[in-house]
Amino acid sequence: MQVTTLLPFFAASQLLASAATLSPTQHLNVSVTAAENGQSVIQCWQLTTPPSLVTIGDVNFQSQSLGDLQGGSLNIFRPGLNLGLHAAPAKQWVIVLAGSIKVYLQYNQTEANTAFISAGVAGVLLAVDTKDVSPIGHITETIEQTALLFLPTANATVPEHTVLHNNVCAGQDLL
Ligand SMILES: *[C@@H]1O[C@H](CO)[C@@H](O)[C@H](O)[C@H]1NC(C)=O
Ligand SMILES: *[C@@H]1O[C@H](CO)[C@@H](O)[C@H](O)[C@H]1NC(C)=O
Ligand SMILES: *[C@@H]1O[C@H](CO)[C@@H](O)[C@H](O)[C@H]1NC(C)=O
């Protein structure tokens, strides 16, 4: 299964006539629960695969591939739920369809290390700190009633990326 997410980089339809403005150079940055030295860390990654220009009907738009996926599930959580410490159940994309989540580390609860992810165009987290690489994992809480789409990567592959920095994506990373 191949799934793409549609990125509203060029929402104004007037821009669609200009190929120059559409060149797909803005690589997606995403906050990640990754693992280093056997424990979870929160990092900002930039995907190696750039968005591409896709046409449906009369409309051109930027489309970001999420790579090959395997399975997928829609998960509904009640408000104010604390999942406690857990490893990622699979190497997976987590798409916040409704509500919001707070994802953080038990051993380092700084603001820069805490991902607040709400439904919307930036409502994406990549969770790859599975038990084999991070036995303890991270903590997730829901704030409101929350619907999360889990999209595990095929064969537990980690999407090609560069690590932009530790801590969540912020500021310049999310233009
Ligand atoms: C905790 O995170 C902050 C940045 O969010 C970092 O500067 C600090 O080194 C971290 N501390 C530990 C013990 O990992
Ligand atoms: C996953 O593994 C299967 C079986 O080894 C292989 O056929 C398939 O191409 C792999 N897919 C990816 C995306 O790595
Ligand atoms: C990703 O982050 C880099 C570095 O902060 C930034 O230059 C780039 O514009 C960001 N990409 C997007 C799509 O926001």
* 89-145 per-position pLDDT tens digit: 999 999 999 999 999 999 999 999 999 999 998 899 999 999 999 999 999 999 999
User: What's the structural domain count of the chain?
Assistant: 1
CB count in 10 Å sphere of residue 64: 23
Does pLDDT of 151 surpass 60?
yes
Confidence band, pLDDT 50/70/90 cuts, at residue 13:
very low
The answer to whether the CB of 25 is under 6 A from ligand 3 is no
The answer to whether the CB of 28 is under 6 A from ligand 3 is yes
Residue type, 9: F
CATH code (residue 162): 2.60.120
Range of the domain at 73: 2-174
Map tokens 């060029």 to a residue.
Answer: 10
The answer to whether the CB of 145 is under 6 A from ligand 3 is no
Distance 56 CA to ligand 1 centre (A): 45
The answer to whether the CB of 68 is under 6 A from ligand 2 is yes
Does pLDDT of 85 surpass 90?
yes
What is the C-alpha to C-alpha distance for residues 130 and 156, in angstroms, rounded to an integer?
Answer: 10
Closest-CA residue, ligand 2 atom 5, reads 155
The b-or-e profile of 102-136 (16+ CB within 10 A means b, else e) is ebbbeeeeeeebbbebebeebbbbbbbbbeebbeb
The answer to whether the CB of 163 is under 6 A from ligand 3 is no
Which residues touch 130 (CB under 8 Å, ≥6 apart)?
A: 35, 87, 88, 89, 90, 91, 156
- Point out the ligand nearest to the CA of residue 66: 2
The answer to whether the CB of 39 is under 6 A from ligand 1 is no
